[in-house]
Amino acid sequence: MDTLFYDGQCPLCQREMRTLERLRRDSLQLQDIHALSPDPHRPPNEDLLYLLHLQTGAGDWVIGLPANVRAWSHTRFGWLFRPLLWPGLRQVAEAVYFRWAKQRYRKRYGCIPCGQPRKDHQG
């Protein structure tokens, strides 16, 4: 089972999670980051809040745009998101995602975390 970690205090994130909750298959679990207890085997909460993180059933981490695409693959609409990972389109989609994530984090939490994940951060 995959687990998607999301910011439960972000109105836009809440709206998307309500939609995912309604459409998802049982193979996806949604986890509000603010409800988590500290765990040394998981990235720090500020990293989870900065970029979307999904942990696969095998324990691997998928981060950013690929995490969103993988989460939506647990719905009947997954095929609509897959093209975002195609060469060419992926570079544009990731640039837009990272810019949005940075602005969202700064707006909600005031600044970018000190150990800010890089674009190529893979857990």
Task: Flag whether pLDDT at 102 surpasses 70.
Answer: yes
Q: What is the mean pLDDT of residues 39-62?
A: 96
Q: What is the mean pLDDT of residues 92-116?
A: 86
The full set of domain ranges for the chain reads 2-109
User: CA 91 to CA 6: how far, in whole Å?
Assistant: 23
115 pLDDT band, cuts 50/70/90, is low
* DSSP percent split of the chain into helix, strand, coil, nearest 5: 50, 15, 40
∠ Cα 66 70 72 (to 5°): 120
Task: Flag whether pLDDT at 103 surpasses 60.
Answer: yes
122 pLDDT band, cuts 50/70/90, is very low
118 pLDDT band, cuts 50/70/90, is very low
Task: Flag whether pLDDT at 119 surpasses 50.
Answer: no
